[in-house]
Amino acid sequence: MVPAEVADVSPWQDWCSAAEGALRFLADYVGWDFWMVTQVVDGRQVVLLAHPPEAVRPGVELPWEESFCRQMIEGNAPRLATVTAAVPAYASRTTGPLRDVAAYVGVPLVRADGALFGTLCGVAFRAKPRSAVRDLRVVEAAARLLSTLMAAGMQPPPLPSPDRPG
């Protein structure tokens, strides 16, 4: 039994719990409208977890070609954009389900061998002040923690069922 004095810092039981904790922390500390952990597989970006949970259902997919995260991974755009309209690679993506994204932050999640797993990302529907850039290091630390847990053997959740409009 964990004493009450240390229960708030006891280890998470699995990768999914750690990722949910990271998303809650980022929502509370950094803010923004919602946060996601995604996995890139077979040319699509799949939402594994989101906070708040009702913001995006697990299993929602976006073609990787259309993703903000792809632009960030490929070095065409920065990890954090306080105004997506001011970054050409992001501005060209603000159509369809991404049309209302006014600010973006994303950091790669990588496997032990350095291969891309997915991303930890946040979006806001209003532009952020330039001072929001200071929070990038916090998001990078959270992403590195999740990547490290994967490297240490903790497994992410399985891919949710695809959520495709029917």
Identify the segments of the chain with pLDDT beneath 70: 1-2, 94-98, 162-166
Give me Rg for the CA atoms of the chain: 16
pTM confidence score: 0.89
Token pair of 110 as six digits: 């990588």
Token pair of 93 as six digits: 């993506």
- The domain segmentation of the chain, as residue ranges, is 36-151
Looking at residue 96, its pLDDT comes to: 59
Q: Which residues contact 69 (CB under 8 A, 6 or more apart)?
A: 38, 40, 45, 106, 119, 121
Q: What is the DSSP string of 19-82?
A: HHHHHHHHHHHT--SEEEEEEEETTEEEEEEEESTTTS-TTBEEEGGG-HHHHHHTTSS-SEES
Half-sphere exposure of 107 (CA within 13 A, CB side): 17
Looking at residue 166, its pLDDT comes to: 38
Q: State how far Cα 134 lies from the chain centre.
A: 17
Looking at residue 11, its pLDDT comes to: 80
Q: Which CATH superfamily is domain 36-151 in?
A: GAF domain (3.30.450.40)
Looking at residue 32, its pLDDT comes to: 95
pLDDT tens per residue across span 153-163: 999 988 887 65
